[in-house]
Structure formats: C-alpha cells, structure tokens
Chains A and B, each alone.
Chain A
Amino acid sequence: MTDTLWSVRRPVGDLRPGDHACLAYRCEEERRHVVGAFVRDGLLAREKVVYLSAVAAPRVPGVVSLPSRRLLSVITLDGDPRAALGRLAAEISAAERAGFRAIRVATDLTGADPESLLGCERTLDRLVAPSTSVVALCQLDRSRLPAGPLEELGAEHAVLAGPDPDFEDTVLRIVRTFEPRGLALAGELDASRHLVLDQALALVLSGADGADVHLDVAELRFIDLGALNMLAEVAARRAHHGPLILDRMPAQLQEVIMTVGWNMLPGLRLGAAFSPAGRPERWG
C-alpha cells in the first residue's frame, strides 16, 4: 500500500468536513493516540461523534467517562453491515437536524471480512465526500489485513491521517512516531526550543519501558550544541536501557557530530541512513 497521487497526508487535528481519511496503524498505541485525539477533540468542541465498530462493546479511544448519548453514539455491525450503515446515515441526519456544526465518524471494522469492508467504505465515501459537516476517520489494522486488501481499502480514502504534532511553530515541528517509537523532528533546534523537546521526549520515554527510542532527524536543518548535550543527558539518565537512536541524519548534521566525535555523545547512536526522497515508506 503506497501513497497514491490523489492522497493527502494530514495531522488528525487538521481534518475538515468532507475528508474521508484513514489511519493504517501498526500498533495499539498509535491507534489510541491518533483516534483518541479525533474523538476527544470532537467531544471537547461539542461536536457529534459516531463510532462504528465491528465488535459488540468497543472501548472508544479518547473517551474517559462515557459522554452523553447526545454527543457520542456507538453503532455496532452485528453481522449486518448494510443495516449498520443505515443506522449511521440516520445518526448523521439526526445530528444535522439537531444543529451540530460538525459530525465526526470513526470506524473500527477490524475483523469484518475485507469484501464487506470495501462495500462499507464506498457507502461511507458517498455520505462524507459531498458533506460540509461530516468528517470520517477509518482505522485499518496493518497486522490483521493482508497487503492486497490493505492497499485496496487505503485507496478508498483521499486523506491519510497522522498524529498531531506534539509541538509546532514556524521554526520547529515535533511529531510522535510509533514504529519505531520516538519523535520526528523538522526545522531548526536551538536553546529557545530545548524545553519543548525535553517535554516531548519525556512523554515518549515514560511509555518506552526501557525500549530503544528513535529520533527521526531527516528534516532537521540545524541542531545546536546545547541540544546534543541535552540528548546525551537524556540518554545517560536511562543508561541501563536502550540508546537514543538518531535516524536518517542529513549529511550536514552528521558532519558537525563527526567533528565533535560520537565518543563525546555516549548513549546516542546513528540509526537508519538518510534517504533524500523523504519518508522512505509510509505504508508497507
């Protein structure tokens, strides 16, 4: 499954009415992070959220205590996709009549057979694409779908959803990555933004449970010595765990680090090589 010419990548927070987006997730943490943000942001903004699930009593990501039936509706397939989609269409109409400015539909049809999944996606697309109020996010489990159907289902979506940045301004962007676990950094990193990186790193490390943590620095154009010092400190604090791995480092950053010497940076390792084409693979 690859990016198609007509697909757009968008952070989940930037999805707009009319977007029929999908998230092909690799792990539960990624699913809860992205879908959780989609559901939570909707509920916080008092928008209608409809959760369509293949299992009987789904745990809806992003929900702490169950919100009112008015805000959140859960529809289950119960072995009859056609009927479920009918109920979904009815929920959407009802929400529109009730005056909701936006309606968020999240689907988790993992477990349904790929053939009926495809039918669901097409029906959903007819509901969402022309709408000025409905936005849909479909979850596809990479580990449970064979490559062919995954590719086919993905192609039904014009938008590929990703995580919202942990931090973003005109200078630096920090986004969570899940496999490998870590952060992707883009832009320039100097003392004015050490704190936000420190906070984002702390969040990743707290859930890492001793596993390796990766920083994808392919789009990082500048890193100051203070940040190298900070990363070495972070690595030293978890010395008995795996190292901090810097992936896809551009030549110009590597040059500066070579001058300093990798032996000055205990606990930091160079990981996957830089590939100038950008993200090496998004789907496969």
Chain B
Amino acid sequence: MTLTHRAFLYTGREEFLAGTTAFLRDGLERGAAAVAVARPENVAALRAALAEHDGAVEFYDATEFYRHPVRTLKSYLDLVERLAPQRVHAVAEPVWDGHDAERRAEWIRYESLINEVFADTGASALCPYDRRTLPAEVLASTRVTHPVVIDGAERRSPDYVAPRAFGERRERARRVERPPGAEYLPIVSDDLRPLRSFVAARARAGGLPETAVRNLVTAANEVAANALAHGSPPMGAWVWNDDGEINCEIGDNGHWRPDPLTGFVPPKSALDTGFGLWTVRLLVDYVEMRGGWDGTFVRLRICR
C-alpha cells in the first residue's frame, strides 16, 4: 500500500475549499478515515463546508500539530495506527509563519521525510500551500518534496528528490565550523556527570529556560553514551553560545557515517533500537550529524 503525497497550491478560500473538500469526500466515499489538519481559519471553513459529514472528519489545529517536525511525524504515525485498518486521507497544511530560514528548511525536510515514514501505510496526504502568503522558496520546495503537485492541474513532479538524497543535500548545505571560543570538555570515563554539569552550567549561563537546559543535558548525555558505546577515543564535548542559541557538539574518533534519515523515523516504543537518537532529535531544535576523516560529530542546537 503505497503513499499518495501531493502538494496542492491554491489562491483564496474558494480554491482551498474546492480542492480539500473534494479530496476528503472522495476519501469518505472510499471508506477511508478523513482527517484535516489546517490553520484555524481553514479548519473553521472546512467544518462549515463539510457540515453534512458532521462527526465523520477529524479536525486538528495545525498551529498545535506543527510544533516540532519530529513530534509531528510521530503524531501522524499515531493517527494512522489508531485508525487502521482504515486508510487515512489527510489534509495536511503545515504552518510556515514566524520561521527563520533555518527552521523553514527543517520543515521542508519534514515534508520530504513524509515520503519515507509513511511509504507503506496506504495513506493519502494533500498538503495545501497558499500561493498568496507563502515565500517563493516554500512554494518552490513543494516540487522537490512531493512526488505529485497540483498547481492548477495535477502533475508528477520532475524535480522530486527521494528523502535520503534530500537529507544528504541538506546536511552538506549547512556545515558551519566550530567557533574558536567554544569551550571543551574531554570525556574520559563512562560516568557522565561531569559532562552533564558542564553542559547545564553553560546552557543556564546562556539564558536557556530550565526545561530547555534539561532537554539539552538529556540529549547530550545520550549522544555521549552512544559515543562511549560505539565510538573510539579521544572523545569530548564542545559548547558555545551562538547569539542565544546554545550549541553542544559531541565528537569521537570513530568512523560512523550517519544515514541522513537516522533518528527521524519514529520508533514504536522505547524498546526499538532507534529510540535514543529519535528522542535526541525531539529534545532539541536541530541535530546535525557528520562523519568525516577526523571522526564522528553530533551537534545539538537549542534556543527555546
């Protein structure tokens, strides 16, 4: 059961409703579970337009649903599993307001990951994009992240890039050197208490709220425990403050070459092998992994 993942470019409420209601009605007729995740004004309009299907469609506020890409993937997966054996027909409208370029790029990557995570679910997703309000870069990205784009007419996208290749491109694009002022702590034993206090003290001094400090400490501890279990010495952690964003990079001398999809596919439970890295991604804003001639490096960034 393959996934159908289409971008739907629209102008104005009328075109939005025409496309999304036809899609959801079609889903209901086929016996699928109809779900709509959209911005509040669009949810209200959809509810009104689908009044005759009252109760048959699940509605969600996108501003709640799209908080963190890793969490959103998991929420959709939970939804698909809960509604099984019914297939899911979902209107899935991401939120693009208020993001800087980097966060926008992460949400674009998220759209690409949909193709991987839901590949075998038989789900059908229609992702509305507002031509009038969204930046050109976001509109252009739909052709790379969706195999099919509806822009007036429905067409297979010749620019579509598979998620793994997309991820590699993204990782290459954002390589930034560590600043010379980064503070360093060598990791010399499996007792990681010194690392936790090193990271916590600098995160607090950098003005991170206490929850974010704890999340970063838990994530850094996990990456370091991984390095201890699978990497090679010497190992250590660098921490620096990049204009209010706390960066923590754990490095070891091993030669792990992370797959660009590592940690994005949600585990079923804590018993799955991918649980640790998936949770690390969930706990911080950005995770960058790099394997090179000089070792393996995992950088955690957080500014919440």
Interface residues of A (CB under 8 A from B): 171, 188, 190-192, 222, 224-226, 228-229, 232-233, 236, 252, 255-256, 259-261, 263-266
Contact = CB atoms under 8 A, between A and B. Distances in A.
B225 interface: yes
Nearest to B229: A191
B193 interface: yes
A228 B218 CA distance: 12
Contact of A192 (B190, B210, B279, B283): B190
A264 B275 contact: yes
Nearest to A261: B74
B270 interface: yes
B190 A229 contact: no
Nearest to B266: A264
Contact of A259 (B222, B229, B283): B283
B90 to A, nearest CB: 20
A251 B78 CA distance: 26
29 contacts: A171-B193, A188-B196, A190-B193, A190-B221, A191-B192, A192-B192, A222-B221, A224-B192, A224-B218, A224-B221, A225-B221, A225-B222, A225-B276, A225-B279, A226-B222, A226-B225, A228-B270, A229-B271, A252-B210, A255-B211, A256-B214, A256-B218, A259-B282, A260-B270, A260-B279, A260-B282, A264-B269, A264-B275, A265-B270
Given A229-B271, A255-B211, A266-B269, 17 more contacts: A190-B191, A190-B193, A190-B221, A191-B229, A222-B196, A222-B218, A224-B222, A224-B225, A225-B221, A225-B276, A229-B275, A232-B271, A252-B210, A260-B270, A264-B267, A264-B270, A265-B270
Contact of B218 (A225, A229, A236, A264): A225
B43 interface: no
Contacts of B270: 225, 228-229, 232, 260, 264-266
A265 to B, nearest CB: 5
B101 to A, nearest CB: 26
Interchain residue pairs A-B with the least CB separation, the first 7:
A232-B270, A192-B190, A191-B225, A229-B270, A192-B191, A225-B222, A264-B270
Contacts of B217: 222
B276 A190 contact: no
Interface in B229-250: 229
B194 to A, nearest CB: 11
Nearest to A171: B193
B215 interface: yes
A265 B272 CA distance: 11
Nearest to B276: A225
Contacts of B215: 256, 259
B228 interface: yes
A190 B191 CA distance: 7
- Chain A CB within 10 A, most for which of B229, B270, B282: B270
A263 B267 CA distance: 11
Nearest to B280: A225
A224 B217 CA distance: 9
B276 A229 contact: yes
Nearest to B211: A255
B275 A188 contact: no
Contacts of B279: 225, 259-260
B74 A252 contact: no
Contacts of A222: 196, 217-218, 221
B78 to A, nearest CB: 7
Contacts of A228: 270
A188 B225 CA distance: 14
Nearest to B267: A264
A252 B193 contact: no
A194 to B, nearest CB: 10
Interface string B81-111: 0000000000000000000000000000000
